[in-house]
Structure 1
C-alpha cells in the first residue's frame, strides 16, 4: 500500500486495519506522534489527514490511502511555524508529551480560522489533554501565532504588490 506522509510517498507492507499511529512510529520511524490512551480521548496522537485533525491511534491506515498525512515532523522543516515559535515564546511545554498533538490541533484550527476567539480555541482544543495543565499558555500561544501568521501574510501580500 502507498501512503503520503509530509509530502513524501511511502510504500508500506502492513495490514489495512493497522492503526496509522503504529505505521508512522514503527514503520516510518516518525516518533513525534505520541501514543497516549489508545482510545482517541487524549489527543497525543493527533495528525492531519487532508488538513483535518485525526486521532492516529483510531485511524486505520487504509483510510489514509490517497490522502495527505501531516505529522508534527511535517508542520515545519525548521521549527519556524508560527505556532512552534509561539509555543517557545509562551514556554508552553512542561513535560512536553502531549505537545505534538496540541500543536497539530492548533494548526488545524488556525488553518480554518485565522483569528479564533477564546471559546473557539477552547472548543478546537477540547480533545487534547495536558496532564501538566498548561491550557492558559496554550491559548495564549495560539493567539500569538494567529497574530504572527496574519502579520506574515500581510507582509507577504505587500511584498507581492511591489
Structure 2
C-alpha cells in the first residue's frame, strides 16, 4: 500500500513533536472528563470528532474534509469555502517551509556535510562522570536516507541514527 516504516529516535522528541502534542491534547480532554465525572471514552470520541471537523492551521481545511471530501456534521458552526486540492497542498507546503525556516534559525541549524564513506563517532549515553560523550570506536557511513544515517564498524556492528547523534571524525589513525 506504499507505507514505509521510519524509525524515530526516542531521545529526539522534535522528530515526533506532532504526535506528542496531540497526545497532550487528548490527555487534557480525558482529565477534564474525569474531573466532571463524565464517561472519559465518550468525551474522548467527542473531542476527536470536533478536532477532525475543525480547520487545521497549516492546511486551512479540516482533516475530515481532506479525507472524505466533505464536512462532517457536528455541533460546531461551519462555513464551507471551496478549495482545490493543489491549493491545499501549496498552502501546506508554504506554511511548513515557514515553520522549518523559523525553527532552523532559532536553533542555528546548518546543513550537514556527512556523506557515505565518512568516518564518524556515535554519541553514547553518559554512564558516569568519566564517560565521554561519543563512543571512541569509529564507524564508517554506509547509507544515508535524509537525516537517518546507517554506519558500520570494522567488527561488523551496524547502527542507524539521526544526524544529531553523529559527529564527523576529522583525524583518524589506524592502530
Higher RCO (CA < 8 A, seq sep 6+): 1
Bigger fraction of residues in helix: 1
Fold-level similarity (TM above 0.5) = no
TM-score (norm 1): 0.25
TM-score (norm 2): 0.23
